[in-house]
Amino acid sequence: MFFLVSGLFLLGLGGLVSILFWVPGLVDRRKLRELLGPRYPMVYLVYSANGPLLVLAGVILLFKYLQGGG
């Protein structure tokens, strides 16, 4: 049951972060670029750590639950 709840939570959170980042108008990337200057590529590092990787972790936990692991 732990893997099911954790997997669903991570899947939802990662999906939400991805949607918020890629829907135009929700995140003003030009303003971020002005604020961060040469450190702007770190935005993509933070996004990848908090978007797709959370979705991947959620999917892995769900597969573990479905295979009888918990």
pLDDT tens by residue, 26-69: 888 888 899 999 999 998 888 888 899 999 999 999 999 999 86
Which distant-in-sequence residues (6+ apart) come within 8 Å of 8 by Cβ?
58, 62
Structure tokens at 10: 């991570």
Q: Identify whether the C-beta of residue 66 lies closer than 8 Å to the C-beta of residue 30.
A: no
Per-residue pLDDT at 9: 95
Global pTM reads 0.75
